[in-house]
Amino acid sequence: MRRLFDYRTVPREKRTLILAGMLFGSILSFFLISRFVLTVGVVEGASMAPTLQDGDRYLINRLVYRFHDPRPGDMVEFRMIRADDYSVKRIVALPGDVVQIKQGRVYVNGRMAPEPYLPPGVITDGKAIRSQAFKLPDNMYFVLGDNRAVSMDSRVFGGVHKSRFVGRLGIKLGN
């Protein structure tokens, strides 16, 4: 009785070609998946503490924003103005929203933004934008770090254009 996948029925030369093809296909699949579907990132700094700590690793879903728009509360990785620098922040406001920071709170369209991910008592300083209300242009998102005291975010550098998003953070892998 012959087995379904009996390697002895395949000549040695063909086995080598099959193994080489499998190895090439595996490497190509890994490259394509890590470049276009999922990749791993590492947190540098404390701007997202306590949610993400310095040195934490996480998966980035690079496909998600091809199928739906970013939403408030999403943690995103994006390219900074310098092409070799990346940052992780949380989306607080969407294109067309009116943002204002007053009395230590973030207001979106006149209502206090719900931020259940923040520890109680967190104060949001307006930094460079002070307490002036402003409307986000098309394709621009207002992002903030969870550790508001140390985060360099949209309060300093303004909104982030959707084209600079790498993807949404998914599973935290730990240190």
Report the C-alpha gap between 39 and 59 in whole angstroms.
6
Report the C-alpha gap between 25 and 15 in whole angstroms.
15
List 47, 87, 151, 154, catalytic entry? 47
Q: Token pair of 115, please?
A: 């931020």
Identify the pLDDT of residue 94: 98
Residue 106 has pLDDT above 60, yes or no: yes
Locate tokens 């307006």: which residue? 126
Reported as a single tens digit per residue, the pLDDT across 164-173 is 999 999 877 7
Report the C-alpha gap between 18 and 73 in whole angstroms.
47
Reported as a single tens digit per residue, the pLDDT across 69-82 is 999 999 999 999 87
Q: Which residue has the higher pLDDT, 29 or 1?
A: 29
Sign of the Cα pseudo-torsion (42, 45, 47, 52, in order): positive
What lies within 8 Å, CB to CB, of 42 at 6+ separation is: 55, 56, 57, 58
Neighbours of 21 (CB within 10 A): 10
Q: Is 14 a catalytic residue?
A: no
**Strand blocks (E) in 44-164:** 57-61, 75-79, 86-93, 98-102, 105-108, 111-112, 134-135, 140-144, 160-161
The β-bridge partners of 174 are: 57
List 87, 89, 151, 154, catalytic entry? 89
What average pLDDT does the chain have? 89
Instruction: Tell me if 97 sits within 8 A of 142, measured CB to CB.
Output: yes
Among 4-8, 83-87, 121-125, 150-154, where is mean pLDDT lowest? 4-8
Instruction: Tell me if 34 sits within 8 A of 14, measured CB to CB.
Output: no
Q: Is 87 a catalytic residue?
A: no
Residue 1 has pLDDT above 60, yes or no: no
Report the C-alpha gap between 38 and 51 in whole angstroms.
21
pTM comes to 0.82
